[in-house]
Amino acid sequence: MKELDQQIRDTVLRCVGDLYDSHAREIKDFISFNESQRLVVGFSADIDCAGAAPIVKVTIRFANSVSDSLSQQLADPNQMPLLDEDDDYGKVVARGKGDGE
């Protein structure tokens, strides 16, 4: 690995560790108060090499999220309608709750 690549890698990993350590208590509290006892913690790295010296910015993100969905069956546009007003098209056929991912 080239020297600059290694420096960037080391910086990203160090920042991830530092950010996690500085938010560890909040993360633990979030997990313990969350019904599912689960939390997604995300890190992103913005590596800017446009200037003379690269700038590495690492961000941590964690939050409780909700996932929900609705499915509806529509009429087949190629099928001639056979039913009148009592058909089931457009009614909710499935509803699912996600797990926050």
Task: Compute the distance between CA of residue 77 and CA of residue 54 in angstroms, rounded to an integer.
Answer: 56
pTM: 0.61
Residue range(s) defining the domain that contains residue 73: 68-97
Residues 31 and 58 in one domain: yes
Residues 11 and 50 in one domain: yes
pLDDT digits (tens, 9 = 90+) for 88-97: 555 555 556 5
Residues 9 and 56 in one domain: yes
Residues 57 and 89 in one domain: no
Asked if residue 44 lies in contact with residue 38, where contact means CB atoms within 8 angstroms, the answer is: no
Q: Which helix (H) or strand (E) holds 32?
A: helix 3-33
Residues 81 and 48 in one domain: no
Asked if residue 62 lies in contact with residue 39, where contact means CB atoms within 8 angstroms, the answer is: yes
pLDDT digits (tens, 9 = 90+) for 33-89: 888 888 889 999 999 999 889 999 999 999 876 667 777 877 777 877 665 555 555
Residues 58 and 80 in one domain: no
